[in-house]
Amino acid sequence: MNIRVAHLYPDYLNIYADRGNIAVLVARAAWRGHELDVTEVGIGGRIVPGAHDLYYLGGGQDREQLLVAADLATKAEPLKAAAAGGAAFLAVCGGYQLLGRGYRGHHGDDMPGVGLLPLETVAGDRRMIGNVLLECELEPGVRRTLAGFENHAGRTRLDPGAEPLGRVVSGFGNDGESGYEGCRVGRAIGTYLHGPLLPRNPWLADWILAQALAHRTGGEPPELAPLDDELEALAHAVSSARAQRR
């Protein structure tokens, strides 16, 4: 089955090799007999709700975010319509910030956001950098850990009652204070974890693929065939240990 992916602004939002997340999804889909059909959507490109099963936004510095923010804002309504129709979203770092209502950068630039995630972000004076470990529960009663790397000045504040992606075990998270990281609305998730995120967290890659397949078929997320994740598990263990030594 073809899984249709819209990769937004890959020429701008690709800090810390965030394209690697797409490479992981391509490989894990292929190993199960599926194909990822990736379409790059740049400045001036159109979003057609229902045309894609997964939307991906990578990370970028303030300069790159400023270059794409106004154009992304023009895509806000079709992106929100796509999410309402069951499409999956993964937004990382700068993409995460812009999937909220807006981001005020380090130099005071106000950048409009999509408004898909219930949050706002303002840059602080000190960067929050280092390995990070989260505890997540994307499925009721199933707790897993996410390991990654964060490097951001943004302080992201979730609206009251908004669902975070996970609880911070070690690291800063959204703002260094709340004890939470990322945000989730249905099949859309945003996070500061990159470097990239998915090679060391294969369970999350499979969760995203399952959500995209559910949109493609109009059914429930399928249970994917297990893979040999020995190397991925080792990468996760190394990242987890580094985070817990902070």
- What confidence score (pLDDT) does residue 142 get? 96
Q: How far, in Å, CA of 28 to CA of 229, rounded?
A: 10
Tell me the per-residue pLDDT of 10-49, one tens digit each, with 9 for 90 and over.
999 998 888 899 999 999 999 999 999 999 999 999 999 9
Q: Is 118 helix (H, G, I), strand (E, B) or coil?
A: coil
Q: How far, in Å, CA of 210 to CA of 216, rounded?
A: 10
Tell me the per-residue pLDDT of 49-82, one tens digit each, with 9 for 90 and over.
999 999 999 999 999 999 999 999 999 999 999 9
Q: How far, in Å, CA of 41 to CA of 6, rounded?
A: 6
Does the pLDDT at position 106 exceed 90?
no
Average pLDDT over residues 206-211: 98
> In the chain, where are the structural domains located?
2-244
Q: Is 34 helix (H, G, I), strand (E, B) or coil?
A: coil
Indicate the pLDDT class of residue 246, thresholds 50, 70 and 90.
confident
Instruction: Please provide the average confidence, as pLDDT, over all residues in the chain.
Output: 96
Candidates 1.10.3720.10, 3.40.50.880, 3.40.50.12280, 3.20.20.70; correct CATH number of 2-244?
Answer: 3.40.50.880
- What confidence score (pLDDT) does residue 231 get? 96
Average pLDDT over residues 88-92: 98
- What confidence score (pLDDT) does residue 227 get? 98
The pTM of the full predicted model, rounded to 2 decimals, is 0.97
- What confidence score (pLDDT) does residue 85 get? 98
- What confidence score (pLDDT) does residue 217 get? 97
Does the pLDDT at position 214 exceed 90?
yes
Active site residues: 93, 194
CA 197 → CA 58, 93, 131, distances in Å? 10, 11, 11
Pairing type for strands 142-158 and 88-92 reads unpaired
